Amino acid sequence: MTKPIGIDLGTGNCQYAFISDDGRSVVGPIDSGECLPSVVYFNNGIPVIGQEAADLATLDPLNGIFHWKRDLGSGKLLYDNNGSPITAEDVAIMLCSYIKTQAERFHGTVIDTCTLCVPANFTDEQKQAVIDAAKKAGFSCPGFTDQEPSLSNEPTAALRCADADNVVFSDGYCLVVDIGCGTTDITLANRQGNKYEIATTNGIPKLGGKDITDALVAYCRDEFKQSTGIELNQGAHPDLDLELFNRCEAAKMRLRNTDQVQIPIQTGGQKQLITITKEQSAQLAKPLTDEIIEVVNRTITEVGVALDQVKQMIPVGGGSLYHAVDPALEAYFGRPLTDIGNRHTAVCRGAALAAWAECGEVSTSTGYKLPAQVAIVHDVTSYSYGIQALDDQSQPKFATLLQKGASIPSTFTREFVLDQEGANGADIRLLQGGTEGGDPGQAAQLGSFKLENLTPVYGRAHRVEVTCSIDKNGLLKSTAYDTEKGITATEEVSV
């Protein structure tokens, strides 16, 4: 059995972790550090990965790809490499391949199994894109090399890490607030011994540390215009855009330990030092931290849990290191937060623990096999899943097959009646994120398929059973079964 690793494909940085010979989850070295910038730069058509890519892109940003993760599953063109289209999926493949090479170089052996972390609120399309990228990079499932790589929700992985580090100190509810560079996930879990039941998960797909940096960038642009009269239009000077973003990103982190920072801007013959105080930066980010608190509150209350029942609140992720985040969370929680140590690595290390648990054992370099004595985590769906059906007035409605918070994996079957006599077929539209009896237009359509060649039925109900299954990776499969003729049609959602 090869050594499994856990991978965190982050919006800003990537990491991998493995289980050491003494059973600890350890971040693996990559480019002589713990983090690999999630950047690809094309040097005369040749892709350059990581820190070197980030360095080269400072001089030529138009040939670099940054913050691509939100575009996974969209097929959006991010770069034209001499006529070859590059999408977010292509970037993910390049980064997975690079991580695989670096891990193999360090361990001196083939590394071909992994568990990858994904935001809990990733869509099926985004999850499938991550799996496909890892497969194309040469990875398979830990313990089952004939199966595709496995996924773990990022806050669930962080919870595994917290358990392994003995950060979760008592039974009862604990809340993980995972603020990454590009996304935010909040997961409420109930611990009983070494078992964790995920009660519910919510997230903000497009809010993370990058958005806080963007707020600082916007402030600097406004201040520069007021002082010089020069408007720094976004996109007009890509090199200046990237330089300003990088300086604001560094300034954001410095504000944890200082009361103010100065950000230099030079362009059009003008030089300015823009001063931002800790208080000013907190105000700039307040709409974002307020949104995070609102989702934290919704996560707790939607399952009928009172705030005082939550024993611990655990912030993780690089975005949580922004100085205004902890005070906002603490003010809401009313108690001190639980520090997990290195918040940057919690998700990655948890992914390695998940990979280890899936293997059941790990061979070490000394020839011993370590048992997978890790936390048992029962995860749940972040969305509801269903189909479009008609009510008694023939109005389209969302018909639930799997509720939000259903256990992963899960299967549920529901019976429907065709709306017309003599029908010889049925159209099945798979939906995500709707409410029972609600407008199906408010839900995301995942796919559709047809149940065809049915025997027409007259004078009585023609019944069709629709089954919805969600696998260990949170990916959907739906089957429609005709009770009259025994015909079955299936759709695996990987669009």
Question: HSE (CB half, 13 Å, CA atoms) of 84?
Answer: 9
Residue 103 has pLDDT above 80, yes or no: yes
pLDDT band for position 234 (cuts 50, 70, 90): confident
Q: What pLDDT sits at residue 369?
A: 55
Average pLDDT of span 474-491: 87
Return all residues near 205 (Cβ < 8 A) that are at least 6 apart.
70, 119, 121, 122, 183
Domain 385-492 CATH class label: mainly beta
Quote the mean pLDDT of the chain: 91
CA atoms within a 13 Å half-sphere pointing along the CA-CB vector of 331: 10
pTM here is 0.88
Above 60 in pLDDT, residue 1? no
* Cβ atoms 330, 140 nearer than 8 A: no
Q: Provide mean pLDDT across the span 365-392.
A: 77
Q: Are strands 396-402 and 172-179 parallel, antiparallel or unpaired?
A: unpaired
For 5-167+340-376, CATH number? 3.30.420.40
Question: Which residue intervals of the chain bear CATH 3.30.420.40?
Answer: 5-167+340-376, 168-338
Cis peptide before 61 (omega within 30 of 0): no
Which CATH fold would you assign to the domain 168-338? Answer: Nucleotidyltransferase; domain 5 (3.30.420)
Amino acid (one-letter) located at 431: L
Return residue ranges of the chain for CATH 2.60.34.10.
385-492
pLDDT in tens, 422-453: 999 899 999 999 999 999 999 988 889 999 99
pLDDT at 313: 98
How large a percentage of the chain has pLDDT more than 70? 95
Task: Provide the phi-psi class of 327: left if phi over 0, else alpha when psi is between -120 and 50, else beta.
Answer: alpha
* pLDDT over 70 at 60, yes or no: yes
Q: Residue 362: pLDDT above 80? A: no
Sign of CA dihedral 292, 401, 477, 469: positive
| Residues recorded for the chain | 495
Residue 495: the pLDDT is 32
Whole-angstrom distance, CA of residue 41 vs CA of residue 86: 11
Distance CA 308, CA 336 (A): 13
Q: Sign of dihedral through CA atoms 86, 87, 88, 89?
A: negative
Mean pLDDT, rounded, for 149-164:
93
Q: What is the pLDDT of residue 494?
A: 45
Residue 146: the pLDDT is: 66
**In the predicted model, what is the mean pLDDT of residues 87-95?**
98
